[in-house]
């Protein structure tokens, strides 16, 4: 049995971003219960040269929607990166999920050998579809979701492996 490019990408992104939204909701509840200003957690970092929680969420969403869109050869929606609350970050996850749900398997399946090109801050890069998904997009999404989880966990939010993995 084989797994398609669609199956390896879109449902995985939807699942992990749904879990991220639930993790953020726990972060908001923790801030309220402990009388912590939410902006303190949203600006939290694991190390000074790392991005804050809010940007980790933005990048995770962008990596998922951009990666899936590139595989489908369509333009992803652009989000403004202006979220300042837990609620707004949860909504960003949900908007990303809603976008991903519009993509069909027929758009992504068969992209294994398609050349995917994208721009970074410093360069234009290209890879074949399968290595792009497996070595670039999936690791990026999981890196930034994990870092968001770790920032909240480090700041006392009661999270465990089940929150990261989800129960769906």
CATH architecture of 5-165: Up-down Bundle (1.20)
Please give the structure tokens belonging to residue 143: 């890196």
Residues 6+ apart with CB under 8 A from 155: 36, 41, 44
Taking alpha carbons only, the member of 8, 6, 23, 10 closest to residue 165 is 23
SS3 of residue 34 by DSSP: coil
pTM for the complete prediction? 0.96
Structural domain boundaries in the chain: 5-165
Tens-binned pLDDT, residue by residue, of the chain (168 aa):
689 999 999 999 999 999 999 999 999 999 999 999 999 999 999 999 999 999 999 999 999 999 999 999 999 999 999 999 999 999 999 999 999 999 999 999 999 999 999 988 899 999 999 999 999 999 999 999 999 999 999 999 999 999 999 976
DSSP letter (8 states) at residue 128: E
């Amino acid at each position: 049995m084989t797994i398609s490019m669609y199956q390896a990408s879109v449902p995985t992104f939807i699942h992990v971003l749904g879990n991220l939204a639930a993790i953020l909701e726990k972060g908001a509840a923790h801030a309220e219960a402990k009388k912590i200003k939410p902006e303190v957690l949203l600006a939290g970092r694991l190390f000074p040269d790392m991005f804050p929680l809010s940007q980790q969420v933005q990048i995770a969403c962008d990596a998922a929607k951009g990666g899936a869109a590139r595989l489908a050869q369509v333009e992803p929606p652009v989000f403004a990166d202006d979220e300042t609350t837990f609620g707004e970050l949860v909504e960003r996850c949900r908007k990303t999920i809603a976008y991903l749900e519009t993509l069909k398997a027929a758009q992504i399946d068969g992209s294994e050998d398609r050349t995917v090109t994208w721009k970074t801050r410093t360069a234009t890069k290209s890879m074949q579809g399968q290595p792009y998904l497996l070595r670039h997009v999936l690791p990026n999404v999981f890196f930034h979701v994990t870092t968001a989880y770790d920032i909240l966990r480090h700041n006392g939010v009661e999270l465990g492996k089940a929150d990261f993995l989800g129960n769906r």
